[in-house]
Amino acid sequence: MAITFHRSEVDELAIKSLGDSVRDTAQYDNLNPDGLTPQALTAPEGEGYMDQSITRAIIAPSEAEANTVFDKMLEDMKKAGDEKVEDIINEKYAQRMELWSSK
């Protein structure tokens, strides 16, 4: 028994409209600190602060409260060692761009 698959008109239009909108993100893949390093252990902690705080900042009733939440998030991330993680990510990105530009 053979089965054929037919896309709906909406699916066809979406594929046609969005087909070329996919971006290559390879330059940003796997930039996090290598496993079993102190920075690899602090990276999820900083991401956790960000995940929790961004939502609270977005739904804050006032701009002042949103700014307070955001500033607290940055302070907590800094205490967790996020600057070291950011340095590693930036260094890996620069190395990747240098490697790719030489090809």
Q: Give, for all 103 residues of the chain, the pLDDT tens digit.
A: 678 788 889 888 888 888 777 777 888 999 999 999 999 988 999 999 999 999 999 999 999 999 999 999 999 999 999 999 999 999 999 999 999 887 6
Q: Global pTM? A: 0.67
The pLDDT, as a whole number, for residue 30 is 92
Instruction: Give the H/E segment covering residue 69.
Output: helix 63-79
The pLDDT, as a whole number, for residue 73 is 95
CB proximity list for 56: less than 8 A, separation 6 or greater: 69
Per domain, the residue ranges of the chain are 33-101
Rounded Cα distance, 93 and 103, in Å: 16
